[in-house]
Structure 1
């Protein structure tokens, strides 16, 4: 298929307070604000800040009146990811090609000040894809401005030497409703020429989820799409769908080249991560022959390790601070691995079950008498 090349431009979050959201990324993850926008007129007034670290660009947008779509989005979901924007050398041609492949159209191509933009629906509920064609010279301090209307800040503060070294957006993790996984991933395969890189039914106890990952032809965008299995309990994916109200993005995975050092720096900045049972590390050395980072280093920070046919990966997930507990982040280091830590899901489940069994045994022994609890 001769599909126009589309690269990742940025991820836009709709938020209730753009300044507070930007400060959370700056203070917690080491992002820098490099451009801002105050916009009025259709589709409503808004305030946006563009942030970057490494090659990761995020935009946080706050609706300032009832007409802006960010207002309705945050009323429904709270803060969340609304747009995964894509750059195109020729946005009109890319739009026409996507429409010919049955893409959902949300806004026809429009041109202003040398910019061309258009908006397509995504493969999951009310997330969208803005196509962006930038004019020559649309850069701020070496990083392209994300959208028309943005102005560069005077001069970003220098990056501290101890800033977390986050490099690229490794993948976007998405939850969809039961039975919608095939249609969601097929949309990307048909419209944008994505190809499947991973597929698995993950069963843990009474819970299960279907998963499939699809990757763009350019290789810089990967969606891991998850759905509750109809034959099992919905589990945490079902919890997300209930709290969020629809399918959508539940986490972004930021890549790093040294996860131990990066997590240590994030920890000093106050980023809080999910804890990992001690039993997980007791079994880790048997499960994975680590080629980087010791079990002790991983245990100290709660970092997980897994491997596949291509290599190893290390990952950790932040504890969500979202009021609805529907958005969090992942830090990931890959040493050749091409999958997404499926082995960790099983290992964590086994570790939790092991600790639960040990706790229950201790409680039972204590009730039976102190001499049995020793």
Structure 2
């Protein structure tokens, strides 16, 4: 049931072109492939072993209206997908339907974790029709080789509960996958 790595992170964004410009021009990511569906469009970016999926479209409007631009999925690779899913559900996660035919569970808010078996480095997220970007630039040596954490915004009173959830659901220490930062909500 061991979690090994972050397979990819999917970001739901209002403005795909601005996001791609930021990640490609500003951060050195390389466009790898595109996937177009009826209600959304995604771009797969890479740098080192890091895979980002940037998604826009009317199919994600409710997420954007509720949360704004941000992380929608942190896909994890694991030894035993079924056992990891069972452990996560026992720890309080809800199984959620995946558009792509792979196990997925809730995490915090509307963020989910897609659970995947270990895969070859550079593998595209499963279940979508990815089309390689033609004439893509050669991958840069890049500054980012591996994703070792994601910082998320949580209500102050939920930080300890979320840390316990990740320990119980996935066997992760606080520093292994998520650095849980709390900011009190203003307003």
TM-score normalized with structure 2 length = 0.85
User: Which residue of 173, 178, 181 maps to 1:226?
Assistant: 181
For residue 29 of structure 2, what is the aligned residue in structure 1?
A: 31
2:61 pairs with 1:71: yes
Distance (whole Å) between structure 1 residues aligned to residue 172 and residue 148 of structure 2: 16
Q: 1:131 to 1:16 in 2, by over 3 A?
A: same
Describe the superposition over 1:66-86 as per-residue Cα deviations: whole angstroms up to 9, x where unpaired. Answer: xx2x21122233211111111
Return closer, same or farther for 1:151/1:92 CA change in 2, 3 Å cut-off: farther
- For 2:154 and 2:146, the matched residues in 1 are separated by 24
Report deviation, 1:191: 0.8
Matched, 1:83 2:73: yes
Superposed displacement of residue 27, structure 1: 0.6
Provide structure 1 residue ranges, at least 5 long, that are not aligned to the other structure.
Answer: 196-212, 216-221, 228-236, 244-374
Where in structure 2 are there 5+ consecutive unaligned residues? none
Match of 1:129 among 95, 107, 113: 113
1:98 maps onto 2:88 in alignment: yes
Structure with a larger share of its residues in helix? 1
Pairwise CA distance, 1:32: 0.6
Alpha-carbon offset, residue 37 of structure 1? 0.5
Structure 1 match to 2:11: 13
Compared with structure 1, are the counterparts of its residues 242 and 49 closer, same or farther at alpha carbon in structure 2 (3 Å cutoff)?
farther
Give the TM-score normalised by the residue count of structure 1: 0.45
Alignment match of 1:159 (pick from 139, 144, 151): 139
CA 157–242 in structure 1, closer or farther in 2 if over 3 Å, else same: same
Q: Select the structure with the greater relative contact order (CA < 8 A; seq sep ≥ 6).
A: 2
Query: In the alignment, does 2:130 pair up with 1:145?
Result: no
Rounded Cα–Cα distance in structure 1 between residues aligned with 2:125 and 2:164: 28
How much does 1:89 deviate? 5.0
Cα offsets for 1:185-208 (capped at 9, x unmatched)? 00001111112xxxxxxxxxxxxx
Aligned residues: 186
Please tell me whether the aligned partners of residues 53 and 167 of structure 1 are also in contact (alpha carbons under 8 angstroms).
yes
Q: 3-state SS of the aligned residue for 1:50?
A: strand
Q: Is the 8 A contact 1:117 1:133 kept in 2?
A: no
Are the aligned partners of 1:4 and 1:93 in contact in 2 as well (CA < 8 Å)?
no
CA distance in 1, matches of 2:160, 2:67: 24
**Cα distance in 1, alignment partners of residues 172 and 94 from structure 2:** 16
Aligned to 1:50: 44
